C-alpha cells in the first residue's frame, strides 16, 4: 500500500493541488485556504499539527514553480 502524502512532500502536494484547483493563482492563495486544501487531499495523511508557515510557503513555492 502506498504511503500517503506528508507535509514534507511539497512538490507532490503542489501537483495534486494544481489538479484540484486549476483556476487558482498560487500567488494569491491565503495560507488558511492552502492548509485546508492540503488536509482535504485524498492522498494526504499527516498530522495537521505538523504544519507551519514554512511548510505552507514551501508548498506554495512548489506550486508557483510548477505553474510557470
Whether the predicted pLDDT of 1 surpasses 90: no
- Going along the chain from its start, the domains and CATH numbers come out as 10-67 (1.10.10.600)
**Cα(47)–Cα(64) distance, integer angstroms:** 24
Whether the predicted pLDDT of 67 surpasses 70: yes
Q: What confidence score (pLDDT) does residue 44 get? A: 97
**Cα(63)–Cα(61) distance, integer angstroms:** 5
Q: What confidence score (pLDDT) does residue 60 get? A: 98
Q: Decide: pTM greater than 0.75.
A: yes
Predicted confidence (pLDDT) per residue in 25-62, tens digit: 999 999 999 999 999 999 999 999 999 999 999 999 99
**Cα(49)–Cα(19) distance, integer angstroms:** 25
Cβ(24)–Cβ(11) below 8 Å: no
Cell of 4: 500517503
**Cα(17)–Cα(10) distance, integer angstroms:** 10
Amino acid at each position: 500500500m502506498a504511503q500517503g502524502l506528508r507535509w514534507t512532500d511539497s512538490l507532490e502536494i503542489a501537483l495534486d493541488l494544481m489538479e484540484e484547483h486549476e483556476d487558482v493563482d498560487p500567488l494569491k492563495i491565503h495560507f488558511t485556504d492552502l492548509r485546508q486544501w492540503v488536509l482535504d487531499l485524498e492522498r494526504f495523511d499527516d498530522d495537521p499539527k505538523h504544519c507551519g508557515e514554512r511548510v505552507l510557503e514551501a508548498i506554495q513555492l512548489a506550486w508557483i514553480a510548477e505553474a510557470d
